[in-house]
């Protein structure tokens, strides 16, 4: 009997949080070196809807997500949308190798010291933050599961129309 | 308290404790080495199951061979 | 029977509760899709056992992964146990298959499985259920498992009757495991397993030796049947660690301790090292394993005939004697992506060789006749174990 009570107790105390949620606040500004050969600064993207994707080559779901991000970029880039793929690995060569196999057209930024990941409180791999045209954070997605790209698409369209 | 009851209680206690928020000291973006395939406890399940069977058939000891966990912690 | 069912029900309820109410931030990951085709061979102590082992796992949806395995032991055996009974080399085949499923929900994975092992004088059905939960920001994994086995033991009489039933037994196992990431380079795990066996636990072919005249070692030796208790409870606890070396290699260590109600106590220590050579697509592995155990309370290599009926239980199974084993193993793994197999993401070809030395401290080689019984040389033998396998990821 005691065990059954303990069982019920432990289960009801489980917290609940969503994998995708609405968030608010200014998107912290940062500057990182990029695959375009120059430094890229988040604040310079103001006026565009920005999808910041924190990823790594060793993370399976991150690699799975890449082609979907590329499709979104190609589709909405001209409507004022961009993606910043922030690679969190200390060695940028790892991502350069992977991108030869899965090339993307959007810029890849190298957060080699994890400063930006820490600033954004990244607690899952991958993490996607969608920022509106005024530099405000609007949506947060933790992890990636097939089907998430549909949510991204809806949210991007909503923010483009604003 | 019987052994089984003890085990069940320990399991429930552990899962209850997990409801308390503890900040992970190894961030998800620092999991690169842990996600490396050479770091998995059981790299080849068929090969290690077979070898465990070889030992169990010839020695008295049985139990406590397997475990999960580790890896990239993605998703 | 009632006791068994209650434990199983409790385990299932616990699993379902955890699944339904766990609503954490992120999710765990199902085991990866892969197939292994393994050829195994054991050669040692007069026994030659080899055969295939095929294991296939596939995700069938976002949250379900299924697996199955097929395994065969082709046995050709003339071990010391066979020869001491005066029997000659025998050939036998054992077939085993399993089916199982893993269900992922948020941070929990529920696993169920069934295994059947079949040979002409032994049949085993095993049912398992388990739950695994990621907690503490995915740094910790807690798992709980319950296994129930139902076994049928027969004896090949060699005559017209063929194989006759000798007994049945049941086995229950309860497992609890916790794995913990300590640093970005170190992960440790603790596993505890308790086992309860009930029923006919003897070996129907084995006998014990008894001296007819006490304290007269050169008197006649008779064979008497084994008598085992009909329960066996055991506890095993293991602690293991895996450490990532900065130049990209992995060092693993495991210590395991065991004790049971037959008074057997044992310890095991294993050290493993894995060294990848990425430029050649090769991984090298080396390992050492040391194991030692004490004898069961009712084990003896040679009993006294006068008081054999006063002894409640008796056994002469070398597996329950005071013994130790030392293993060294090496392995090589080659990763490649053949263009003629486009369906697979990657494949590896692997070969492992383990050399095991078994030494018995109170089990004697009864095939050797000496003027004084109980003075035969202590038995020891070595074995080579080969594993050759091809793994596929898709």
CA C177 to chain centroid: 17
How many other C-beta atoms lie within 10 A of the C-beta of residue A39?
11
Cross-chain residue pair B30–A125, CB shorter than 8 Å = no
C177, containing H or E segment? strand C163-183
Cross-chain residue pair C13–A19, CB shorter than 8 Å = no
Taking Cα atoms as reference points, which of A30, A140, A156 lies closest to residue C25? Answer: A140
In this predicted structure, the answer to whether residue C140 has a pLDDT above a threshold of 50 is: yes
Cβ contacts of A123 on chain B, cutoff 8 Å: 24, 27-28
Please answer whether residues C340 and C351 qualify as being in contact, where contact means their C-beta atoms are separated by less than 8 angstroms: no
Judge whether A19 is closer than 8 Å to chain C, CB to CB.
Answer: yes
Please answer whether residues C173 and C185 qualify as being in contact, where contact means their C-beta atoms are separated by less than 8 angstroms: no
- Select the more confidently predicted residue: C366 or C53: C53
Cβ contacts of B13 on chain A, cutoff 8 Å: 6, 10
Please answer whether residues C24 and C104 qualify as being in contact, where contact means their C-beta atoms are separated by less than 8 angstroms: no
Give the chain A residue nearest C106 (alpha carbons): A19
Please answer whether residues A33 and A109 qualify as being in contact, where contact means their C-beta atoms are separated by less than 8 angstroms: yes
Cβ contacts of C173 on chain B, cutoff 8 Å: 63
Tell me the per-residue pLDDT of B8-55, one tens digit each, with 9 for 90 and over. 767 766 665 555 556 778 988 899 999 999 999 988 999 999 999 999
Q: Is C337 helix (H, G, I), strand (E, B) or coil?
A: coil
Cross-chain residue pair B75–A143, CB shorter than 8 Å = yes
Option in B9, B15, B73 nearest A125 (CB) = B73
Over pLDDT 70: what percentage of chain C?
A: 92
The chains found to touch B (3+ Cβ pairs under 8 angstroms) are A, C
Taking Cα atoms as reference points, which of A124, A98, A96, A80 lies closest to residue A37? Answer: A96
In this predicted structure, the answer to whether residue B72 has a pLDDT above a threshold of 70 is: no
Judge whether A142 is closer than 8 Å to chain C, CB to CB.
Answer: yes
Tell me the per-residue pLDDT of A31-40, one tens digit each, with 9 for 90 and over. 999 999 999 9
Peptide bond into A126 cis (omega under 30): yes
Sequence-distant (≥ 6) Cβ neighbours of residue C249 within 8 angstroms: B38, C273, C274, C275, C276
In this predicted structure, the answer to whether residue C234 has a pLDDT above a threshold of 70 is: yes
Cross-chain residue pair C25–A17, CB shorter than 8 Å = yes
Q: How far apart are CA C203 and CA C210, in angstroms?
A: 18
Cβ contacts of A11 on chain C, cutoff 8 Å: 17-18, 20-22
Q: Is A75 helix (H, G, I), strand (E, B) or coil?
A: helix
Q: How far apart are CA C117 and CA C123, in angstroms?
A: 6
For C339, the token pair is 């263009």
Global confidence as pTM: 0.87
Which backbone phi and psi does B21 adopt, to 5 degrees?
-85, 120
Please answer whether residues A50 and A27 qualify as being in contact, where contact means their C-beta atoms are separated by less than 8 angstroms: yes
Shortest Cα distance, chain C CAs vs residue A161, angstroms: 30
Buried b (16+ CB within 10 A) or exposed e, C362-378: bbbbbeeeeeebeebee
Query: Residue C284 half-sphere exposure, CB side, CA atoms within 13 Å?
Result: 5
Give the chain A residue nearest C32 (alpha carbons): A60
Tell me the per-residue pLDDT of C292-334, one tens digit each, with 9 for 90 and over. 999 999 999 988 776 767 778 999 999 999 999 999 999 999 9
Shortest Cα distance, chain A CAs vs residue B44, angstroms: 19
In this predicted structure, the answer to whether residue A11 has a pLDDT above a threshold of 60 is: no
Q: How far apart are CA A57 and CA A66, in angstroms?
A: 11
Please answer whether residues A107 and A34 qualify as being in contact, where contact means their C-beta atoms are separated by less than 8 angstroms: yes
Write down the ipTM of this complex.
0.91
């Amino acid at each position: 009997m005691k065990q059954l009570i303990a069982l019920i107790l432990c289960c009801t105390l489980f917290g609940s949080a969503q994998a995708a949620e609405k968030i608010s606040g200014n998107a912290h500004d940062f500057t990182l070196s990029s695959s375009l050969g120059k430094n890229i600064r988040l604040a310079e993207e103001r006026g565009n809807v920005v999808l910041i994707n924190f990823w790594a080559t060793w993370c399976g779901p991150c690699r799975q997500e890449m082609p979907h991000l590329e499709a979104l970029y190609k589709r909405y880039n001209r409507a004022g949308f961009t993606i910043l793929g922030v690679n969190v690995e200390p060695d940028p060569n790892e991502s350069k190798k992977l991108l030869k196999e899965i090339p993307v057209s959007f810029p890849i930024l190298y957060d080699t010291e994890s400063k930006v990941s820490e600033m954004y409180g990244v607690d899952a791999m991958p993490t996607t933050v969608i920022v509106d045209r005024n530099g405000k954070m609007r949506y947060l997605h933790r992890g990636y599961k097939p089907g998430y790209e549909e949510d991204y698409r809806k949210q991007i369209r909503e923010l483009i129309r604003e | 308290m019987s052994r089984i009851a003890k085990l069940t209680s320990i399991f429930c206690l552990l899962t209850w404790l997990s409801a308390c928020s503890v900040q992970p000291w190894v961030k998800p973006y620092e999991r690169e080495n842990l996600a490396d395939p050479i770091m998995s406890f059981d790299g080849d399940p068929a090969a290690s199951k077979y070898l465990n069977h070889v030992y169990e058939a010839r020695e008295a000891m049985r139990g406590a061979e397997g475990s999960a966990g580790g890896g990239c912690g993605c998703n | 029977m009632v006791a068994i069912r209650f434990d199983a029900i409790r385990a299932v309820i616990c699993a379902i509760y955890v699944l339904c109410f766990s609503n954490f931030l992120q999710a765990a990951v199902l085991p990866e899709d892969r197939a292994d085709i393994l050829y195994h061979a054991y050669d040692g102590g007069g026994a030659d056992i080899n055969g295939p082992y095929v294991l296939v796992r596939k995700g069938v949806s976002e949250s379900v992964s299924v697996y199955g395995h097929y395994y065969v032991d082709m046995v050709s055996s003339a071990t010391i146990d066979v020869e001491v009974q005066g029997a000659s080399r025998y050939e036998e085949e054992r077939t085993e298959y399993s089916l199982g499923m893993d269900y992922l929900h948020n941070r929990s994975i529920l696993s169920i499985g069934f295994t059947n092992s079949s040979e002409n004088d032994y049949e085993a059905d095993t049912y398992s259920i388990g739950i695994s939960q990621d907690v503490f920001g995915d740094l910790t994994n807690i798992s709980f498992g319950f296994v129930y086995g139902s076994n049928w033991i027969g004896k090949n009489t060699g005559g017209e009757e063929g194989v006759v039933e000798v007994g049945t037994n049941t086995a229950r196992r309860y497992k609890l495991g916790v794995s913990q990431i300590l640093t970005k380079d170190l992960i440790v795990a603790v596993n505890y397993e308790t086992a309860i066996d009930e029923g006919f636990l003897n070996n129907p072919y084995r006998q014990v030796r008894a001296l007819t005249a006490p304290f007269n070692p050169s008197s006649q030796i008779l064979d008497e049947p084994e008598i085992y208790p009909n329960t066996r409870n055991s506890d095993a606890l293991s602690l293991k660690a895996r450490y990532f070396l900065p130049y990209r290699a992995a060092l693993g260590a495991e210590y395991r301790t065991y004790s049971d109600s037959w008074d057997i106590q044992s310890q095991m220590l294993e050290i493993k090292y894995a060294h990848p050579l990425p430029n050649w697509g090769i991984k090298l592995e080396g390992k050492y394993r040391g194991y030692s155990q004490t004898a069961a309370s009712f084990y003896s290599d040679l009993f006294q005939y006068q008081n054999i009926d006063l002894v409640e239980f008796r056994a002469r199974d070398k597996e329950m004697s005071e013994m130790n084993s030392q293993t060294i193993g090496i392995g090589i793994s080659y990763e490649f992506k053949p263009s003629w197999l486009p369906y697979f993401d990657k494949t590896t070809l692997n070969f492992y060789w383990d050399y095991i030395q078994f030494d018995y401290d109170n089990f004697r080689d009864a095939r050797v006749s000496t003027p004084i019984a109980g003075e035969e040389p202590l038995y020891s033998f070595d074995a080579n174990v080969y594993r050759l396998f091809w793994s596929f990821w898709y």
